[in-house]
């Protein structure tokens, strides 16, 4: 089921930074400052806006990039879009359930992961749920 909320509804759910990054896609959190960058607990990373499950902790890895990095998402949890801002083409990722901006995917960087992808995600786009 897809989540469709008004701007005022999103503003009541998200703090100002989360709203700016996930709903307006303006900026990013500074490298190395996010709550989940070095986070290592077992569980699921959900969308901060709609709480849809996005990433399992088993797909998280330390890429050294300064943001939480995952090598794969939960099947069907994210959508990919071409992002041509800043004079380059990148792959933007958004929550498939609510459309919230999460970050970008980078391929072929040589990490020893099963997908050779790095999903570079803003911590403020996520909400962690401990494994039960």
- Active-site residue numbers? 120
Pairing mode, strands 90-95 and 101-107: antiparallel
CA 75, CA 77: separation in Å to the nearest integer? 6
Report which DSSP code applies to 84.
-
């Amino acid at each position: 089921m897809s989540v469709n909320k008004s701007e005022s509804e999103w503003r009541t759910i998200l703090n100002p930074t989360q709203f700016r990054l996930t709903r307006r896609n303006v900026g990013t959190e500074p490298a190395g400052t996010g709550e989940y960058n070095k986070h290592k607990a077992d569980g699921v990373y959900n969308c901060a806006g709609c709480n849809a499950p996005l990433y399992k902790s088993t797909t998280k890895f330390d890429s050294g990039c300064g943001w939480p990095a995952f090598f794969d998402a939960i099947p069907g949890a994210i959508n990919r879009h071409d992002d041509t801002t800043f004079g380059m083409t990148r792959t933007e990722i958004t929550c498939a359930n609510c459309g919230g901006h999460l970050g970008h995917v980078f391929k072929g960087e040589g990490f020893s992961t099963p997908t050779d992808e790095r999903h570079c995600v803003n911590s403020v786009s996520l909400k962690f749920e401990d494994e039960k």
